[in-house]
Amino acid sequence: MATPLPTFVWTDVTGSWANPQPGILLAWRQVQRDARWHWEGWVISAWSGGAPAHGEKVYVHQAWTDAAHIRIADAPRPQPDLSRHRPAHHGRSGLA
């Protein structure tokens, strides 16, 4: 797989792609199943759940995921807004 890593992805282990979850793809590997080679990606993903009355919770999951359940995110890479950036002054840094 020629995807630079890490990269942002969408995952949906149901295969329906009705409610994909955001994730980060960290690595690829090939595994042999049913006498055939398959690609899997190591993905860290997050999703929300829980009853609204009790507060929504966020769950984080990491696992080797079949490549059929991973799609590279199409969104362009966000550009940093440096107009509000001020250099940090940590301890004695920048002092002669």
The pLDDT of residue 22 is 86
Contact 66, 4 (CB under 8 A): no
Question: Does residue 1 fall inside a structural domain?
Answer: no
Interval 38-61 mean pLDDT = 80
The pLDDT of residue 41 is 95
Question: Does residue 33 fall inside a structural domain?
Answer: yes
Segment 10-28, tens digit of pLDDT:
888 887 877 788 899 999 9
Question: Does residue 54 fall inside a structural domain?
Answer: yes
Instruction: Tell whether the model's pLDDT for residue 35 goes beyond 80.
Output: yes
Task: Please identify which residue in the block is written with the tokens 């840094």.
Answer: 93
Q: Which domain holds residue 43?
A: 7-77
Q: What is the mean pLDDT of the chain?
A: 79
Interval 41-69 mean pLDDT = 83
Q: DSSP assignment of 10-58, as one string? A: EE-TTSS-SS-EEEEEEEEEEEEETTEEEEEEEEEEEEEES-GGG--EE
Interval 50-71 mean pLDDT = 82
Question: Does residue 37 fall inside a structural domain?
Answer: yes
Question: Does residue 27 fall inside a structural domain?
Answer: yes
Q: Cα–Cα distance between 48 and 91 in angstroms, integer?
A: 39
> How many domains does one find in the chain?
1
Question: Does residue 86 fall inside a structural domain?
Answer: no
The pLDDT of residue 19 is 77
